[in-house]
Each structure stands twice: as C-alpha cells, then as structure tokens.
Amino acid sequence: MIVLNYHELVEASPSNTWCLTHDAFDEHLALCRDSLVSPQRFLEHCTDPKSSRTGAVVLTFDDGFLSDYTLVYARYVKTGRIPGFMSFIPVNFVGAPGRMSWEMIGELSRGGVAIGSHGMAHVDLTSVSDVELGRELTVSKSMLEDRLGQQVTLFAFPYGRFSRRVWDAALTAGYTHLFTIQLGYHRGFEAFLYSRLCLTNNMDAEYLRRHLLDPDGMRGFAWRTSTKLGLYRQLMRWRYR
Ligand SMILES: [Zn+2]
C-alpha cells in the first residue's frame, strides 16, 4: 500500500511549500480515488505481506490544521469523496489560530478519522534529551487519549526526523505504528515504520502519477543497490543508529 502525506489545504495562494490548494488536491484525488482505502482498512491489512505492494492508497494529514476539519472532513469525508484519513496532531497547537480545537478533533474521531499523535511542540525528536523525548511521546498520547476516550497508537515523527533512540522510545510509550517521510511502499525497513510520500506544491500531478505507478521508482542508487544485495535493512539500521 501507499501512504500519502499532506499538511494544510487552502482555497488559493498557498503560503508555504507544504500548503496545497484544494484544486491541486482534487487533481491528486482524480489519480487515486478508486484506490483509496480507509485508515481502518489500512491498519487491518498493513502487516499482511500480500497487501504490501498493492496500489491501495491511504491519506494522512499532519499538524492539526483547521483545514483537516473545514475542508478535508467537511468537503471530502462527509460527502463520501474519500473514505477517511489519518490526522496527526501536535498537541500544544490545539486551539491555536489556524489549528483545530479539541471539539473538532473529537468530531473527526467520531466521524471515522484516525487520530494520531505528532508530539507536543512539533520539535525534531532526534535533537532533544531523553526526558524531553519521553514527555513529547507520553504526554501527547495521554492527552489525546483522555480527550478522545480511546487508545492512540499512531505516531508521526515531526519533520519526518527519527533515529533508533526515537523509535525505541515511541514503542516503549505504547505506539505501534510510526510514520516517517520516505519514498516507497508503506512497509519501512522495520515492521513498525511506515513510509509516506510528503506532497508539496512543487510536485505536480504528473509526479504523483509516477509515484502511484511505482513508489520505489524514485528511490536512489543506495536503495536499489543495497536492496539487491539484501543489505537495505542493515544499512538503514546503521544510518539511524
Ligand atoms: Zn509536522
């Protein structure tokens, strides 16, 4: 399966690279609408080896932007145009200008959107102390769980930055699915890591079309060579040690 990662959607004039117009998002949907699966279906099948290289697509949105509620949920989920999505929340930003409130996040959760943690303050977790790392992971998890009344086991690394120390701490905190920003199908080099293509407004629909046809096609020489030699996992473990 293929995991796509978005941030904010706007009507017009994106303010940064990670912000897309809903027209651009519509173009993306036209390419993958028939392949979209709900987060629940993704989570049921993501460990099944048979599902690993199918073209099924799941959508994720990071950072808890208001547009998760006003556009993605209202315009696409409620109208049946997409079968839900995952929303990763940096807990300290809840209720800030341009971000969702707890009430909105609760409504998304009841409406079939899978809510995950994106930490507290959206910091690069590879650069913080062990104490701070533990706080980012466990306090965000318990705050989300208290508000939603259900377990939160999905985590997306802020900026896609992670290391072995970070993923060990996330697993210890009780997360089971850790989402990165890497090319390729959803299975990462460890069973609990899930690769996502992060869509920016520098990427046109043609780029996405090629990615959907062959998510591994745009990976580099090191991936191709080490995969051929059966050494990719070892290489990555060394890189992220
Ligand atoms: Zn983020």
56 DSSP assignment: -
Q: State the Cα angle at 138 between 134 and 141, rounded to 5°.
A: 150
CA distance 218 to 184: 8
CA distance 92 to 157: 15
63 alpha carbon to ligand 1 midpoint, in Å?
Answer: 5
pLDDT category at 66 given cuts 50, 70, 90 is: very high
79 alpha carbon to ligand 1 midpoint, in Å?
Answer: 27
pTM for the whole thing? 0.94
Residue whose tokens read 């650069």: 127
- Identify the CATH number of the domain defined by range 2-239: 3.20.20.370
Cβ-contact 185, 195 below 8 angstroms: yes
140 alpha carbon to ligand 1 midpoint, in Å?
Answer: 14
Q: In the prediction, which pLDDT does 19 show?
A: 94
| Average confidence (pLDDT) over 19-46 | 94
User: Is the pLDDT reported for residue 113 higher than 90?
Assistant: yes
Q: In the prediction, which pLDDT does 7 show?
A: 97
203 alpha carbon to ligand 1 midpoint, in Å?
Answer: 18
